[in-house]
Amino acid sequence: MAAEDGEVAAGFTVTPWEVSGKVDYDKLVRLFGTTPIDKKLLERLKKHSNGTLHPFLKRKLFFSHRDLDVLLDGFEKNGEKFALYTGRGPSGRTTIGHLIPWMFTKYLQDTFNAELYFQLTDDEKFLIKDGLTIEDVIAFTQDNALDVVACGFDPKKTRIFADTEYIKTLYKTAISVAKKITFSTAKAVFGFKNDSNIGIIFFPAIQAAPAFLPSIIEGKPVPVLIPCAIDQDPYWRIARDVAPKLGFPKPAAIHSKFIPSLGSGGKMSASIPETSIFTTDSEDVARKKVMNAFSGGQATVAEQKKLGGNPEVCSAFQYFVFLFENDDAKLGVLESECRSGRMVCGDCKKMLADRVCKFLNEHQERREKAKDVINDFMVRD
Ligand code: TYM
């Protein structure tokens, strides 16, 4: 089914360049043809991390995969090492939504002692975003790379590269990929139209290329795992399609849901700054955004006390679930305090604002330190 037909049928849109509507993740798994993460797979992952499940797995933020079981088979049975590959399209400042796959990648790097390839697609963002100049994306690339380093990756095991600086290394692989993808496949997977510019039509080959780079660099087949939110999956469909034709292992992927915006729906997105928390927001700005967040509360304190709140539709509550309250018992108390009306939204948001500010302070400290070591991570041609 063509991407667009699928989107219309589903009543929401998820492409690498647009996420809109209320995403039904079960439907998306069926539409994209990915596999839900089941209990058996969670147990296997738990075993590799000393019997504990990463909070993002426990809370089902990472919910879907492609061939992660196959990758683990190789790792467990034959000690087959794998590499990690993830990235960022530098079109603006980094939000805490972008950090989700990177924080998870850091956990995977530590757990599996894996090399990481991190792509900054300055070319993609220049090609897709009206009004962004090359100079803009290059400035965002340098800025965003600091957030990547601030996640704590091991410099000895991490290569960060921007496409415009690393194209000589990527190009042979990218054109080999491109030669195997027809325009009709690219249209079906990405929804390209006659008025799409030809740069963006070629671009998927550039994002597929790093999935094969570990094999090229090591001179032998190296399995690759790609942690990302589910919007990036179309790229892996074509990468997996061409992999055997080029003699590379098919990349595996693990997908997250989207951290919601602080508004009344949709994902956190840098293009709507009022409802997004940026890693560089000051404490005042972040606090204000959280205090203005859409909540599941009633119109007045009196009504809240009488009727209680609706945590399932509350953006603030989702932040506790996904990022800011790891303790299940404490989360349960928060939920029942909300539902019973004993907790009013202002107090809940204040508690969330405190945690967000603490998180930002710590990230910003590491981000400052990243300025001194960034060149230990960057690779250039
Ligand atoms: P970009 O810059 O749009 O997003 C960077 C990463 O963040 C994920 N993401 C989110 N995750 C959780 N909640 C959100 N609200 C949210 N918004 C974005 C994205 O899925 C992505 O993983 N084309 C890519 C850059 C790229 C890449 C890759 C990403 C190149 N190679 C390999 C992942 C893996 C992009 O523009 O990402």
What spacing in Å lies between the alpha carbon of 179 and ligand 1's midpoint?
Answer: 25
Residue 101, ligand 1, Cβ within 6 A: yes
Task: Answer for the pair 109, 158: CB distance below 8 angstroms, yes or no.
Answer: yes
The H or E element containing residue 174 is helix 163-179
Q: What is the pLDDT of residue 268?
A: 85
Residue 97, ligand 1, Cβ within 6 A: yes
Cα distances (Å, whole numbers) of residue 144 to 96, 102, 106, 373: 12, 12, 16, 14
Angle between helices 233-246 and 198-208 (to 10 degrees): 70
* Predicted TM-score of the model (pTM): 0.96
Query: Which residue's CA is minimally distant from atom 25 of ligand 1?
Result: 88
What spacing in Å lies between the alpha carbon of 206 and ligand 1's midpoint?
Answer: 15
Residue 124, ligand 1, Cβ within 6 A: yes
Q: What is the pLDDT of residue 5?
A: 46
Cβ neighbour number for residue 127 with a 10 Å cutoff: 19
The H or E element containing residue 368 is helix 345-377
Q: Residue 261 CA: which ligand 1 atom is closest?
A: 15
Going by C-beta distance under 8 Å and a sequence separation of 6 or more, which residues neighbour residue 241? 180, 181, 185
Question: How far is the C-alpha of 144 from the C-alpha of 269, rounded, in Å?
Answer: 15
What spacing in Å lies between the alpha carbon of 306 and ligand 1's midpoint?
Answer: 42
Q: Output the CA torsion 325→330→336→342 (10° steps).
A: -90
Question: How far is the C-alpha of 134 from the C-alpha of 131, rounded, in Å?
Answer: 10
Nearest C-alpha neighbor of 267 from the set 52, 7, 18 = 18
What spacing in Å lies between the alpha carbon of 226 and ligand 1's midpoint?
Answer: 11
Nearest C-alpha neighbor of 114 from the set 86, 85, 84 = 84
Give the start-to-end residue ranges of the domains of the chain.
3-257, 273-370
Coil, strand or helix at 309: coil
| Class in CATH terms, 273-370 | mainly alpha
The 8 Å CB, 24+ separation contacts for 295-298 are 295/345, 295/348, 295/349, 296/338, 297/338, 297/344, 297/345, 298/341
Question: End-to-end distance of the chain based on CA atoms, in angstroms?
Answer: 39
Residue 278 forms beta bridges with which residues? 95
How is residue 39 written in tokens? 């209990």
Chain centroid to CA 48 = 22
pLDDT (tens digit, 9 = 90+) per residue, 76-86? 999 999 999 99
Query: Which residue's CA is minimally distant from atom 3 of ligand 1?
Result: 89
Residue ranges in the chain modelled with pLDDT below 70: 1-10
Mutate-to-test residue for ligand 1 from 212, 224, 232, 276, highest number of ligand atoms within 8 A of CB: 232
For residue 136, report the phi and psi dihedrals to the nearest 5 degrees. Answer: -60, -50
Residue 258, ligand 1, Cβ within 6 A: yes
CATH number corresponding to 3-257? 3.40.50.620
What spacing in Å lies between the alpha carbon of 13 and ligand 1's midpoint?
Answer: 16
Question: How far is the C-alpha of 38 from the C-alpha of 44, rounded, in Å?
Answer: 10
pLDDT (tens digit, 9 = 90+) per residue, 143-155? 999 999 999 999 9
Q: What is the pLDDT of residue 175?
A: 98
Question: How far is the C-alpha of 309 from the C-alpha of 345, rounded, in Å?
Answer: 8
Residue 16, ligand 1, Cβ within 6 A: yes
Q: Do domains 3-257 and 273-370 have the same CATH topology?
A: no
Which sign, positive or negative, has the C-alpha torsion 331, 333, 334, 336?
A: positive
Coil, strand or helix at 116: strand
Residue 226, ligand 1, Cβ within 6 A: yes
What spacing in Å lies between the alpha carbon of 313 and ligand 1's midpoint?
Answer: 24
How is residue 311 written in tokens? 């945590």
Q: Residue 260 CA: which ligand 1 atom is closest?
A: 15
Counting Cβ atoms within 10 Å, is residue 367 exposed (0-12), middle (13-18) or buried (19+)? buried
What spacing in Å lies between the alpha carbon of 347 and ligand 1's midpoint?
Answer: 32
Question: How far is the C-alpha of 330 from the C-alpha of 343, rounded, in Å?
Answer: 14
Query: Which residue's CA is minimally distant from atom 20 of ligand 1?
Result: 229
Q: Residue 259 CA: which ligand 1 atom is closest?
A: 13
Query: Which residue's CA is minimally distant from atom 31 of ligand 1?
Result: 87
What spacing in Å lies between the alpha carbon of 350 and ligand 1's midpoint?
Answer: 29
